[in-house]
Amino acid sequence: MAQADFCSAGKTGATLSVDAARLRTIAAVAMMRETEVLPLDRALGRVLAEPPLARVNLPPFDNAAMDGYAVSTRDLTGEGPWRLPVSDRVAAGDTRSITLRPGTAARIFTGAPIPAGADAVIMQERAHRDGDMLIVSEAPRAALNIRRRGEDRRAGEPALPSGHLLTAPRLALLAGTGIALVSAFRKLRVGLFSTGSELQEPGSPLRHGQIYNSNRVMLRALLAQPWIDLTDYGILRDDAGAIRAAIRRAAEANDIVISSGGVSAGEEDHILDALRCEDATLDVLKVAIRPGKPLTVGRVGGALYVGLPGNPYAAAVTFGQIARPALRKAAGLSEMPEPWIPAVAGFDYPRTTGRREYIPVTWDQRDAMGRPVVQRLGRGASASLGPIAMARGIAVIDPDMPHVSAGQPLQVEPLFE
Query: Taking CB under 6 A as the criterion, which residues in 62-121 touch ligand AMP?
Result: none
Q: Residue 380: is it exposed, middle or buried by C-beta count within 10 angstroms (0-12/13-18/19+)?
A: middle
Q: Which is nearer to ligand AMP, 104 or 296 (CB)?
A: 296
Q: Which of 311, 343, 355, 388 is in the footprint of ligand AMP by CB under 6 A?
A: 311
Contact (CB, 8 A) for 252 and 305: no
Residue 110 and residue 92 in contact, taking contact as beta carbons nearer than 8 Å: yes
The residues near 197 (Cβ < 8 Å, ≥ 6 apart) are 237, 238, 239, 268
- Closest approach of Cβ 31 to Mg ion, in Å? 33
The region, left, alpha or beta by phi > 0 then psi within -120 to 50, assigned to residue 302 is: alpha
What whole-number distance in Å separates Cα of residue 103 and Cα of residue 155? 34
Q: Which is nearer to ligand AMP, 171 or 295 (CB)?
A: 295
Query: Of 294 and 387, which has the nearer Cβ to Mg ion?
Result: 294
User: Helix H segments across 100-214?
Assistant: 168-176
Alpha-carbon gap, residue 334 to 392, rounded angstroms: 26
Using rule CB under 6 A, residue 25 touches ligand AMP: no
- % helix / strand / coil in the chain, to the nearest 5? 20, 35, 45
Give the closest residue to 411 by CA, choosing from 325, 344, 314, 313. 344
Please report how close the Cβ of residue 391 comes to ligand AMP at its closest, in angstroms: 18
List 163, 191, 262, 291, residue binding ligand AMP (CB under 6 A): 262
- Helix, strand or coil, per DSSP, at residue 352: coil
In the complex, the smallest distance separating the C-beta of residue 382 from ligand AMP, rounded to whole angstroms, is 8
Q: By C-alpha distance, which of 185, 158, 160 is closest to 170?
A: 160
The burial class, CB within 10 Å (0-12 / 13-18 / 19+), for 175 is: middle
Residue closer to Mg ion by CB (options 134, 257) is 257
Residue 305 CB, shortest distance to Mg ion, in Å, is 17
- From the list Mg ion, ligand AMP, none, pick the one residue 296 interacts with, judged by a Cβ distance below 5 to 8 Å according to partner type: none
Is the Cβ of residue 264 or residue 334 nearer to ligand AMP in the bound state? Answer: 264
406 binds, among ligand AMP, Mg ion, none (CB under 5 to 8 A by kind): none
Site for ligand AMP in 355-384 (CB under 6 A): 383
- Span 211-240, contacts to ligand AMP by CB under 6 A: 211, 213-216
Candidates 66-74, 279-287, 310-318, 347-355 — which segment interacts with ligand AMP by CB under 6 A?
A: 310-318
CB of 250 to Mg ion, least distance (A): 18
CB-CB contact of 239 with 270 (8 Å) = yes
213 binds, options Mg ion, ligand AMP, none, Cβ within 5 to 8 A by partner type: ligand AMP
Q: Name the binder of 198 from ligand AMP, Mg ion, none, CB < 5-8 A by kind.
A: ligand AMP
When CB distances to ligand AMP are compared, the closest residue is: 310
Q: Residues in the site for ligand AMP, rule: CB under 6 A?
A: 194, 196, 198-199, 211, 213-216, 260-264, 269, 309-312, 383
